[in-house]
Amino acid sequence: MYKIMFVDDDPLILRRLHQILDWQSMDFAVLPDACDGISALALLKSAVPDIIICDINMPNMDGLELAAILKEHYPDVQCILLTVNDSFGCVQQALNIGVTHYLLKPIEPESLRELIQKILSRLDSSREKENYISSLYSKALLNERMIRDKFLNWLVSGRQTLDEQQLKEKFEFYQIPLCGEEFQIIAVHIESLDFPVSMEKNMDDLLQTAIKSIEDTLSDYPNCVVFTDSFYQCNILMGYEKNSGSPGPGTPLICRLLRDNLLFDLNLSAAVFYSCRYKGLSNIYRCYYETKFLSRYNQTVLDKGIISFAEYMKNAFDMEMDLDSIRSATFRLLRSDDLRGLDAHVRDTLEPPFARHSFDTFNMLRIDFVMTGLMFLRENKLALQDIFDRHYTPLSEVMELNEPEGCAVFLEHYFHRILEHIRGSKVSPSRRITEKCMELIEQNLSSPELSVKWLSSQLYMNENYLSRMFRREMNLPLVKFMMQKKMEAAKKYLDDGYTNLQEVARLTGFADPLYFSKCFKKEYGVAPSKYIGV
């Protein structure tokens, strides 16, 4: 429905305008009248009409002045000027303002009808164009979201082998406003989305509504992006800058807000699960896999509502089991190319929890086997698509298998294909591990935790064995290699103009600036304070 307003200082003219045509049948809503230009502008603050019929001669502000203001501030409003003067000067003034519609008093109904129809034709055409452009924009936004979601699903699947710089370029290309040193994923599982496949359309609609609520909730947290996955789960990828605080206080608060808003605004119950934080874009897939450990939600978890991966791990196993030991054994068998031992290890690990009805443990273990395979691929600088079909999703496939035998057969094939491909490589396993070790050192030079013990925990290896292997490959002790890299980084900071030695020490992982100075002098023969002045 269109809106029309009448502006005239003569009450009789205003009454005539109301009665001259059947405005309702012409699909018009008549707005309150105004007696001059000033009162008309005041009314426009409440409602803007599509057409204004206005007398030229009025006190305070005449029709020409009003028309000029409308053209500047309300350019879409069509103005019809009423006049008793048909002189060239009056018409010229109107044309100069940009008004092409005017009628002579007394107003003839047919003349007004024809002019209104002419204006409506133009307005209809303009609205169709606006609606078309709006629909194109909506489709573009939808396509942009779909493309972005596809990229993020590819990223969290672990298929990629891109380095940090390449991933940053991808984020810029897909216009994903996310940055930071550490990353985390919050997964929102909405109970109402547990529908049969026949309800897929309803699921999509409900999911989009939930996403809108989640994005509104996160409006104060700009360093994040929301995406959905094939499990009909809403995922929030969060970025954290260096020294942004501990992971504890902030994330639970965000999770509480998400859960409360979904419940109070949409009456949707949800379980919220969040991963640990991992350093670097290349480790985002690990965040995602951690959220999938809780994909088979039990009632205890649903009642709790919000749970972290770290908290879940403390209480997940209802039998004696150490996930790190299982993962270390899997890595050892993969690195030694022992497929038979690997198959036995998978079966021996999956069967006991299933037999004891520990389904949460069984679910976690089968997912962890898939993730360990992905971590092994990254260690070998390989991607899933280098070995499998480009659409292959081991996580989705293994989660459809609900018995140990089916999972064991699937994982045997999964690991066999990986090892078969790696056998063709000329690079030795020890060399690949050494390269991964050097990569971890480069990425974590600023971390006070960087040590042989920390590296061995990241690689799921015995630290003595790692040290021996590194020395054999590099002809240099691992501890000395780490110190050299720290000193090289420190020297570069000083060369780049850094003068605060405490800051340089912190950036290279030293908690004690004095110890940093001692190490620097030992490496370069001069104290860092004197090196600055050279």
pLDDT digits (tens, 9 = 90+) for 161-215: 777 888 888 888 888 888 888 899 999 988 765 544 445 556 677 888 888 899 8
| Intervals of the chain under pLDDT 50 | 195-198, 245-248
274 found inside a domain:
yes
pLDDT at residue 510 in the model? 92
510 found inside a domain:
yes
Computed over every residue of the chain, the mean pLDDT equals 84
- Where a domain ends, among 56, 84, 107? 107
User: What CATH number is attached to the domain comprising 98?
Assistant: 3.40.50.2300
User: What CATH number is attached to the domain comprising 266?
Assistant: 3.30.70.270
- Please give the Cα distance from 294 to 129 (Å, whole number): 49
pLDDT at residue 250 in the model? 84
- Where a domain ends, among 275, 291, 308? 308
107, 264, 495, 505 from 528: Cα distances, Å: 91, 59, 11, 10
**Domain that residue 89 falls in:** 2-107
pLDDT at residue 92 in the model? 66
pLDDT at residue 482 in the model? 92
Contact 418, 388 (CB under 8 A): no
Do 58 and 164 lie in one domain? The reply is: no
390 found inside a domain:
no
Do 102 and 246 lie in one domain? The reply is: no
424 found inside a domain:
no
User: What CATH number is attached to the domain comprising 469?
Assistant: 1.10.10.60
- Please give the Cα distance from 458 to 460 (Å, whole number): 6
Do 100 and 215 lie in one domain? The reply is: no
Give the chain's domain count. Answer: 3
395 found inside a domain:
no
368 found inside a domain:
no
182, 245, 247 from 240: Cα distances, Å: 5, 9, 9
Structure tokens at 339: 């497929």
Do 44 and 168 lie in one domain? The reply is: no
Convert 142-171 to b/e letters by CB count within 10 Å (16 or more is b).
eeeeeebbebbbbbbbbbbbeeeeebeebb
Q: Three-class SS of residue 2?
A: strand
- Where a domain ends, among 259, 283, 308? 308
Mention every residue, 6+ apart, whose C-beta is less than 8 A from residue 370. 289, 394, 395, 398, 411, 414
Do 259 and 170 lie in one domain? The reply is: yes
Do 155 and 294 lie in one domain? The reply is: yes
234, 275, 358 from 272: Cα distances, Å: 10, 10, 22
Do 300 and 438 lie in one domain? The reply is: no
Do 208 and 280 lie in one domain? The reply is: yes
325 found inside a domain:
no
CA atoms within a 13 Å half-sphere pointing along the CA-CB vector of 413 = 9
pLDDT at residue 18 in the model? 93
pTM of the model: 0.57
Contact 52, 40 (CB under 8 A): yes
52 found inside a domain:
yes
